[in-house]
Structure 1
Amino acid sequence: MSTGSTRLPWRSNQPRRRPRRTFFLLSLFLCALLFFPLRGPLRTWIRTYNQIPSGSFSPSAYHGCAPISALHQPREKGAILLLLREKDLAQLLPTLANFEEKFNAQFRYPYVMLSSPDEPSFSAHFRAQVALSLPDGAEVEYAEIEDHDWRIPDWLNATEMREGFARQGREGVQYSGREGYHHMCRFYSGLFARQKVLEKYEWYWRLEPGVRFYCRISYDPFRFLALRNQVYGFVITIVETPNTIPTLFRTLSTYATDHSLVPGALWPFFTKSKHGSMEGEYNMCHFWTNFEIGDLRFFRGHEYQDLFNMLDKKGGFYTERWGDAPVRSMALGMLVEPERVHYFEDFAYKHDWFMHCPPKEMGCECDCPAFGDGYTDIDRDGWYSCLPEWRGVQGEAKGGKGV
Structure 2
Amino acid sequence: MAIPSLAPRCALTRTVAVPFALLFISFTLLFSYHPPFKATLSKFAPFITSHTAGPLYTAAVVYLVRLSHADELLKSLASVNAYLPLHDPWPIILFHTGDFDDTPVQDDFLASLREKIGGPSNNSELDFIDRVEFVKIDWVLPEGIPHTKEELDPVSPSSWPGYHHMCAFYATKIFFNPRLRDVTYYLRMDTDSLFIEPLCYDPFEVMHVHQRSYGYLGIGNDAPQVTKGLWHFIRDYADSHPEVALQLNASKMWEWPSNSTNGDVDWDEVPIHGYYNNFEIVKLEEFRKPEIKEWFDHLVQYPEGFYKWRWGDAPLRWATTQMFFDMERDTERLCGIRYYHPYNYVEQCECVPFHA
After TM superposition, the score normalised by the length of structure 1 is 0.63
In the alignment, residue 182 of structure 1 is paired with which amino acid?
Answer: H
The one of 263, 273, 276 equivalent to 2:247 is 263
Question: Structure 1, residues 37-71: CA drift from partner, whole Å, max 9, x if none?
Answer: xxxxxxxxxxxxxxx9xxxxxxxxxxxxxxxxxx9
| Alignment partner, residue 163 of structure 1 | 150
1:56-67 matches, within 5 Å, as: none
1:203 matched to 2:185? yes
1:125-164 matches, within 5 Å, as: 125-132=108-115, 133=117, 135-138=125-128, 139-145=131-137, 147=138, 150-154=139-143, 156-159=144-147, 162-163=149-150
CA distance in 1, matches of 2:307, 2:250: 28
Change (3 A) 1:77 1:343: same
1:41-120 matches, within 5 Å, as: 72-74=50-52, 76-104=57-85, 107-117=88-98, 119=99
Question: Structure 1, residues 310-364: CA drift from partner, whole Å, max 9, x if none?
Answer: 01111211121111111111011110111111111322221015343625xx236
Aligned CA RMSD, in angstroms, stands at 3.0
In the alignment, residue 140 of structure 1 is paired with which amino acid?
Answer: V
| Alignment partner, residue 173 of structure 2 | 191
CA contact (8 A) 2:85 2:201 kept: no
CA distance in 2, matches of 1:269, 1:312: 26
CA distance in 1, matches of 2:347, 2:160: 32
Helix, strand or coil at the partner of 2:277: coil
| Alignment partner, residue 289 of structure 1 | 277
| Alignment partner, residue 4 of structure 1 | none
The one of 232, 237, 248 equivalent to 1:250 is 232
CA distance in 2, matches of 1:158, 1:280: 28
The alpha carbon displacement at 1:101 in A equals: 1.4
Q: Which runs of 5+ in 1 are unaligned?
A: 1-51, 53-70, 366-403
CA contact (8 A) 1:213 1:349 kept: yes
| Alignment partner, residue 17 of structure 1 | none
CA contact (8 A) 2:78 2:113 kept: no
The alpha carbon displacement at 1:131 in A equals: 4.7
1:335 matched to 2:313? no
In the alignment, residue 294 of structure 1 is paired with which amino acid?
Answer: V
The alpha carbon displacement at 1:216 in A equals: 2.1
CA contact (8 A) 2:215 2:281 kept: yes
Identical aligned residues as a percent: 23
| Alignment partner, residue 224 of structure 1 | 206
In the alignment, residue 248 of structure 1 is paired with which amino acid?
Answer: L
Structure with larger RCO (C-alpha < 8 A, sep 6+): 2
CA contact (8 A) 1:76 1:222 kept: no
The alpha carbon displacement at 1:179 in A equals: 0.8
CA contact (8 A) 1:244 1:321 kept: yes
| Alignment partner, residue 64 of structure 1 | none
| Alignment partner, residue 319 of structure 1 | 308
The alpha carbon displacement at 1:206 in A equals: 0.1
In the alignment, residue 169 of structure 2 is paired with which amino acid?
Answer: F
CA contact (8 A) 2:94 2:132 kept: yes
CA contact (8 A) 1:78 1:203 kept: yes
CA distance in 2, matches of 1:233, 1:175: 32
In the alignment, residue 334 of structure 1 is paired with which amino acid?
Answer: M
The one of 320, 335, 353 equivalent to 1:345 is 335
Change (3 A) 1:307 1:101: same
CA contact (8 A) 2:101 2:136 kept: yes
1:121 matched to 2:101? yes
In the alignment, residue 99 of structure 1 is paired with which amino acid?
Answer: V
Question: Structure 1, residues 260-307: CA drift from partner, whole Å, max 9, x if none?
Answer: 222247745242669x89899664111111011011111222222211
| Alignment partner, residue 34 of structure 1 | none
In the alignment, residue 329 of structure 1 is paired with which amino acid?
Answer: W
CA contact (8 A) 2:86 2:202 kept: no
CA distance in 1, matches of 2:209, 2:352: 21
The alpha carbon displacement at 1:120 in A equals: 5.1
CA distance in 1, matches of 2:224, 2:90: 37
CA contact (8 A) 2:168 2:306 kept: yes
CA contact (8 A) 2:248 2:323 kept: yes
| Alignment partner, residue 356 of structure 1 | 346
CA distance in 2, matches of 1:238, 1:185: 17
Change (3 A) 1:257 1:273: closer
Question: Structure 1, residues 169-217: CA drift from partner, whole Å, max 9, x if none?
Answer: xxxx456642111111111111011111111201100011122223422
Helix, strand or coil at the partner of 1:309: helix
Change (3 A) 1:309 1:240: same
Change (3 A) 1:223 1:312: same
